[in-house]
Chain A
Amino acid sequence: MNKSHQTKRNPAESTKKSQIQLGESITVVIIIIILFVIGIAIYNTFKQEDWKNSNIQYGDLSVIALAKTITEFPELKCYTMVNEKINCFDYYKIHALNKSLNDPATRKDYYDYYSNHFKNSRITFVSIYPDGYEITIYDNNISATRTLQISIPIIIEKNTGINAKRNFGMIVVEGYLR
């Protein structure tokens, strides 16, 4: 029955049918590829968003880590002959580091070293009371986008010998997003 039906079929019709089948297959493959491309594009958009978020998170964490580190810098802290003073920063040390990091004659050497510590940040010492002044010792202004800002209350001590003048102030650590 089947055999007789096959022999009776028009050959031109059969060719047309296979051509249609081939066309259908190609269409299906193209549609699948298009769907894949759209899928990858959507996945990449999400990934990029994820990457942006983790970059911001990383920037924030770096600022926190830097704020923690800077309070322990021996080149900025106050010392007695036997130990270090807690939360105290030496006035002359701050000015010496500021001068070295910003003087064109010495800047390169110091900058090469301290940029490994401070990275994309701005570090400002602010004296609030009784004297009011600000010293920005480091500013790596890579872009205008700023991330977290941390302020740590400190004491800035100007030890001139018998008398030591102490100011209340803070260190302001700000991070820049690259």
Chain B
Amino acid sequence: MKLMSKDLNKKAAIEIQFNWIFVAIAGFVIFLFIIGIAVKNARDSEQKLSQDLISQIVASIKGKQQLSDAFTSIDIPKTNIQFSCDKDTDLAYIRIAQSQRQNLPVEIIFAPSSLDTDKLLLSTEDFSIPFTVTRFVYITSPETAFIVYYKAGGDLKAEAFFNALPSNITKVEATGSNLANKIASFKNFKIICFEECPTGKDYIQIIPNNPDIFSYGQINFHKGTSNKVTQYVTKASLLAAIYSDNKEYYECQMDRAFKQFEIKRKLQIERIELMEDDTDISYDCRILLIRPSTTLYALKDQKLIHNEDIYNIMRQFHDDNKDLELSSCPIIY
């Protein structure tokens, strides 16, 4: 009997201890659960903040895109913004810090692949070949300087280019003798040169194939010892190359622009066909509309590589449009 009572006492003591262990474990699990919810909420709100910021920036960019030839700036909290373009899918993206990237399905933005800044400098330019296809948006930061390199004894091309650069960016003129001093003032810079380029430096060389530097030509992205050559046509395309970090990004965005051009070209043809069928338009005008229609067919599937052809067809199309105006007919663009 005495032995049994001792045994029961021991059992009770174990149960009381187990009770405490159970409470401790349950408390710990509840504590972990609360901490988990708090951590998840904190992470969610951080992500939401980044997404909100991205949405605001994209909305601002879209808003600024409405205005042609406009310079403006957007003040944002200091952050890292990344721009990318996928050649295989033809999609462009914007991403802020570690947030989810946001697709930019129709916007064509030329910017460095990564920007650490609290201010975005935006400018826009119509991409017209020759009718407006889309509006290019150029983005940079005040910390990035565009150094236009002049050859010794004056450089008219460099001067024309310098004056054409948007006035809201950090732009500097330099020659062989003062380049080192000018570069020393900036952490990030791009050297843009024409016939003569500085040795031992990365630069973007513009090689126009026409006295008018904004018509068409070639662009050489020189980095270290490598030279990557690509083409440009029109001022919008030339500025696009200058704002881009590399040939790949520039070409990817230009490919997207030419895909939009193909849609707009077909729309123009459709419009001319409607006009040709409309008897409200005089017979003479309808005859005159045949030429620009043929010119538009000649612009089918054009790519950046055909820049000379595009430029010549553009001029032809411009003349066709002028003829229509002089004959008091409805113009094409």
Contact = CB atoms under 8 A, between A and B. Distances in A.
Interface of A: 11-12, 14-15, 17-19, 21-22, 25-26, 29, 32-33, 36, 65, 68-69, 72, 74-75, 79-81, 90, 92-93, 95-97, 99-100, 106, 109-110, 113, 116-117, 158-162
Contacts of A75: 264, 267
Contact of A109 (B8, B62, B126, B263): B263
B26 A29 contact: yes
B330 A159 contact: yes
Contact of A160 (B9, B23, B267, B281): B281
B23 A95 contact: no
A80 B30 CA distance: 72
A160 B330 contact: yes
Contacts of A162: 328
A95 B274 CA distance: 8
B105 interface: yes
A160 B15 contact: no
A116 B280 contact: no
B270 A22 contact: no
B16 A161 contact: no
Contacts of B271: 90, 92-93, 95-96
B59 A65 contact: yes
What interface size band does chain B fall in? 35 or more
B322 A81 contact: yes
Chief secondary structure at chain A's binding surface = helix
B66 A116 contact: no
A162 B322 CA distance: 15
Contacts of A161: 281-282, 285, 328-330
A106 B11 CA distance: 85
A31 to B, nearest CB: 11
B179 to A, nearest CB: 40
Given A96-B267, A96-B270, A160-B281, A79 B12 contact: no
Nearest to B23: A25
